[in-house]
Structure 1
Amino acid sequence: MMEEWDLTSIQAGTVGSYSLYGMMKSALILAPIADKFGRKNVLVICMILFSVFTLGHGFYITSHVSSSCVSLRQLAWEP
């Protein structure tokens, strides 16, 4: 990935750190919801949200809206 995207080791480390942070944030928010409503239901909702925000990310070209879609997509990723 580093060679394909021409990333330095610092940039690649930052990408990895943001991924882990997004998963941690999602787990802390969605785990109690999954305990209350059931893991299968929350997983289905997360898959739908992930799909919607991924699709939305493809339609917006401004960086502000695009980064919002990425952030919301990361929140939906980890049930």
Structure 2
Amino acid sequence: MLRGLRGRGIEGKSVVVYAQWDSKEAYDAFREQPAAQRSAERQKIEAKLDALAIWRDSNTYRVVHTRAAGE
């Protein structure tokens, strides 16, 4: 869940980050990769996130229902 800096405290200014992985094993490999082995691009992005984040949580979910926009 992301909230824009100008949106803090204003309802409706949040975004949920959603990603799909090919498999649980692929996700686990990404999460468990030692920092020294991560690509320069990933390290750059993670450093930027660390500088901006005030709180971070990670979780996995099982999809039980989907729908397209307008349904």
TM-score by length of 2: 0.30
Which structure shows the bigger proportion of residues in strand conformation?
A: 2
Which structure shows the bigger proportion of residues in helix conformation?
A: 1
TM-score by length of 1: 0.28
Greater CA radius of gyration, 1 or 2? 2
